[in-house]
Amino acid sequence: MLEFLKEHRKKIVIIFLVVVLIRFINLVGRDRDYNKFEGLVIDLLRPGFVVVNSIQDFSKGTLRVILDYKSVKEENEELKDKIEKLNYSLRQIEKIMLENHRLRESLNFKKYAPYKVVGGTVIGHSADNWSNILVIDRGSKSGIRRKMPVVAKGGYLLGITQQVTAHTAQILLINDGNFVAGGLVQRKDSRNLGVVKGQTQESRLLMNNLSWDADIGIGDTIVTSGSQYYPKGLPIGKVISVSPDNYGLTQSALIAPFIDVRKVEEVLVITDFSTKVDLLEPLNSNHQLEGERE
């Protein structure tokens, strides 16, 4: 027994002190006077009370930090979600505002061009490098057929419809190598005619078959000359250079299109232009303003 006590005396002393500490901690807060022995022991154990109290305060503080962190994290997640939703709403509002602006420009075209038109949104582009085609979300159900002229904002010629399904239509763009349209120098003292062709690998159009003495120069506006497929006066582009062609028997002109086909998002398909309205006069003042802004 003595050997056991000697061997485990440190553990026994610690257990005794813990028991005593617990016993006297339980005395704290009781509504009675301590006897001398209890008062002496409590005074001796005061440092222990301080340590226990510090441990309790630390535990409470740590628990509070953990709980607060969890609460703050949840609030941050909620705020992030709200911010993301607000950003999405702002992006949608900006998109709607831009669409409204483009639609207003399209409506301006409808005001001075009394044609039947169908509006469409671009939903696809050609996947190869040998053709320039757009796909829109309107088709035969909306009155669109093959070989109908298509314009973009401002009434600029964009192309002509090609393949048409019930709900989609392909548009052959003016810069495609297969695109051909009759062109006319808009200037009143010229009015020379030529043929405008697309160039697949270029962002420019070529106007040839101009007579050798055609009055055409840099800065002239080229519009459609009118045919069974195009009304007269749709703006195509501006002349940026003129050169002799076919050993000087004719001339050719390089034209910069008014519209960047890569940035088109909404279009108007002209489904009927049987009114035969000449757009040259109203378009003339319109393009002068456009040129001034550029």
Considering 4-18, 117-131, 222-236, the range whose residues carry the highest mean pLDDT is 222-236
- Residues forming beta bridges with residue 118, ordered by sequence position: 269
* Beta carbons within 10 angstroms of residue 86's beta carbon: 10
Alpha carbon distance 169, 155 (integer Å): 19
When the pLDDT of each residue in the chain is averaged and rounded to a whole number, the result is 76
Of all residues in the chain, the percent with pLDDT exceeding 90 is: 32
* Beta carbons within 10 angstroms of residue 280's beta carbon: 20
Alpha carbon distance 293, 109 (integer Å): 18
Q: Where are the domains of the chain?
A: 2-44, 113-293
Q: Which residue has the higher pLDDT, 293 or 154?
A: 154
Q: Which residue has the higher pLDDT, 83 or 31?
A: 83
Mean pLDDT check: name the lowest of 5-9, 82-86, 180-184, 281-285: 281-285
Give me the amino acid identity at 183: G
pTM score above 0.85: no
**In this predicted structure, what is the pLDDT of residue 273?**
84
**In this predicted structure, what is the pLDDT of residue 73?**
74
Give the side-chain half-sphere CA count within 13 A for 290. 18
CATH class, domain 113-293, is: mainly beta
pLDDT tens across 40-66, in order?
655 655 565 556 566 556 666 666 666
* Beta carbons within 10 angstroms of residue 9's beta carbon: 10
**In this predicted structure, what is the pLDDT of residue 132?**
87
**In this predicted structure, what is the pLDDT of residue 102?**
60
CB 258, CB 239: distance < 8 Å:
no
pLDDT tens across 225-265, in order?
988 999 988 999 999 999 988 777 889 999 999 988 888 88
Q: Which residue has the higher pLDDT, 164 or 106?
A: 164
pLDDT tens across 68-91, in order?
666 777 778 888 887 887 777 777
Alpha carbon distance 132, 8 (integer Å): 94
CB 163, CB 188: distance < 8 Å:
no
**In this predicted structure, what is the pLDDT of residue 24?**
55
Residue 185 has pLDDT above 90, yes or no: yes
